[in-house]
Structure 1
């Protein structure tokens, strides 16, 4: 845990370098029609196979938002800096439109009426195939991270694409109360970040959404969600824990890390609990506008979410199948 915390704290304090990764637009033909994605590649030529990170936007988001190409100062754009610095491939796909005409993902929530009905697991699997075949992605180092509905989709990938993934991270997302999916059967490293004052995906579980956001289903609590992954990973109930250093910009929020599993190269579940944090990704360098905080709740500034996720992912590899 100390090694993870030390690296992440150092990386998060680095100045945000220019987003030098090259972004290209692509399209895959799928049974539901063409599916769009953005690919970020480092400027330097590859010295070998590169790790691949799939980043999934939330409900009503987009690939363009993930990469900081819209008006909101989205924290996940930090992946562009990480891609160039660490020589990663990063793919941000666009979700399909649901019955509310907003882009999203067909995650495991059986009662999320406005979710699209597309085969998003098949879409992500095809993107991984393409990245391996055409861009030199390392099949042993494929990771997925998502926020909100995107985080819920990452949990579905953790069940249905577990043999292809070396680790997943879910931000402001919970396991569904009524699920289309079975619980995970294959061990997988999992990281989660959640605010205790999240009113859209409530920390203690319940109905997802708010008075302007209906039909989004229901979920279990953070603790029960983490317990599902600890069980399949065969990890103990006791965690190593410690507070993250406070920053003035965090206001009333604070962050505390819990880690189950001592080996950074092995099976771990990591959770960063954001006290009084809302439905946002914590960030030092990518601060959300005031009206976003007014709608979604307070954004913590004690750590950079993407940097913490990469610190969690970087030493984990998928074991070759026999």
Structure 2
């Protein structure tokens, strides 16, 4: 009987005591977080997704990609419509999906203040540059982020903010990717260093026309070619060349830029104002291009670059 009691006592210890050699409690392996932070007078929200390998190596540091939705979108919409968390998992990077400030109208449409666009965020002079800067700092402090590998990818109005971030806080961002957007900064862009840029657009986009002009919301959007010409000068590129033009899409690259920077532009002949390779974000939304996959192109581009 005494022997039996001893065995039961031992089993109890094994069941209710951590058996690691270090005596530390097991790690709570949570991979998804909903965050809130106050910036100026605004309550800002975001979603953070960690890759499966995050907890496997205590010394590992992971790239961070900030995904910026378009007008009327949201953090969850960006993730869902563009399958971006799947790409974060396969690429083993951390992804943060911030929300734009919602309007005070019936639908609470979320926008970003990209300078001369758009809507509520612009009219209320929301400091989205400050928000994203503080978001990068917070996530980098709280999680295992490699601060030299922080990137921004944006859709439409989010792409416009990505351009503004490249102009104003390039010291925090290694590269940007812009989809179906253009640059709307005011005053002129004066980055403190050259920035790698990947631009993706459809020739059939009428909401933010590639050739420029009046688009969605009655805003005037500068031609993308002009924007890229400005950036080729800012990045002091040596020239440009067409790498592919097969009738489905044209790929242009700017080369011999300062500090090893590269600029690329994919212009598709299918799709519309949408994320290539993604889903339609709504029944009334444009159909995405199928000749390229934005997620693959973006991550392949980003991982070439680190901050100096």
Q: What is the TM-score normalised by the length of structure 1?
A: 0.78
Q: CA RMSD in A?
A: 2.2
- Higher RCO (CA < 8 A, seq sep 6+): 1
Looking at structure 1, the residues matched to 36 and 93 of structure 2 have their Cα atoms a distance apart, in angstroms, of 20
- Structure 1 gaps, min length 5: 1-20, 69-73, 245-252
Superposed CA deviations along residues 111-170 of structure 1, whole A, max 9, x for unmatched, are x44444211111101111111111011111110010000000000100111111100011
Q: Of 315, 319, 322, which residue of structure 1 is paired with 2:304?
A: 315
- Structure 2 gaps, min length 5: 1-29
What residue number does 2:67 align with?
55
Q: Of 119, 126, 138, which residue of structure 1 is paired with 2:134?
A: 126
The structure with the larger Rg is 2
The residue correspondences of 1:106-145 to structure 2 (distance < 5 A) are 106-109=113-116, 112-116=118-122, 117-145=125-153
Q: Of 82, 88, 93, which residue of structure 2 is paired with 1:88?
A: 93
Once the 2 structures are TM-superposed, how far is the Cα of residue 87 of structure 1 from its aligned partner?
A: 1.9
Range 124-133 or range 52-61, more displaced: 124-133
Q: Of 177, 183, 191, which residue of structure 1 is paired with 2:189?
A: 183
What residue number does 2:288 align with?
299
What residue number does 2:15 align with?
none
- Kept in 2, the 8 Å contact 1:156–1:181? The answer is no
1:37 aligns with 2:46: yes
Query: Residue 260 of structure 2 aligns to a residue in which SS?
Result: coil
Query: Residue 184 of structure 1 aligns to a residue in which SS?
Result: coil
Superposed CA deviations along residues 211-267 of structure 1, whole A, max 9, x for unmatched, are xxx35x3221011011011111111332241147xxxxxxxx82221111269x920
4+ residue runs of structure 1 moved beyond 3 angstroms?
98-101, 112-116, 289-292
Query: Residue 149 of structure 2 aligns to a residue in which SS?
Result: strand
1:229 aligns with 2:218: no
Q: Of 229, 238, 241, which residue of structure 1 is paired with 2:243?
A: 241
Query: Residue 261 of structure 2 aligns to a residue in which SS?
Result: coil
Q: Go from structure 1 to structure 2 and tell me whether the alpha carbon gap of 1:31 and 1:46 turns closer, same or farther (over 3 Å shift).
A: farther
- Kept in 2, the 8 Å contact 1:158–1:184? The answer is no
Number of residues of Structure 1 aligned to a counterpart in Structure 2: 270
Q: Go from structure 1 to structure 2 and tell me whether the alpha carbon gap of 1:46 and 1:158 turns closer, same or farther (over 3 Å shift).
A: farther
Once the 2 structures are TM-superposed, how far is the Cα of residue 97 of structure 1 from its aligned partner?
A: 2.0
- Kept in 2, the 8 Å contact 1:167–1:189? The answer is yes
Looking at structure 1, the residues matched to 151 and 267 of structure 2 have their Cα atoms a distance apart, in angstroms, of 21
Once the 2 structures are TM-superposed, how far is the Cα of residue 46 of structure 1 from its aligned partner?
A: 5.2
Once the 2 structures are TM-superposed, how far is the Cα of residue 60 of structure 1 from its aligned partner?
A: 0.4
1:273 aligns with 2:267: yes
Looking at structure 2, the residues matched to 67 and 51 of structure 1 have their Cα atoms a distance apart, in angstroms, of 17
Superposed CA deviations along residues 271-309 of structure 1, whole A, max 9, x for unmatched, are 0011143101110xx4427934xx43x421122201110
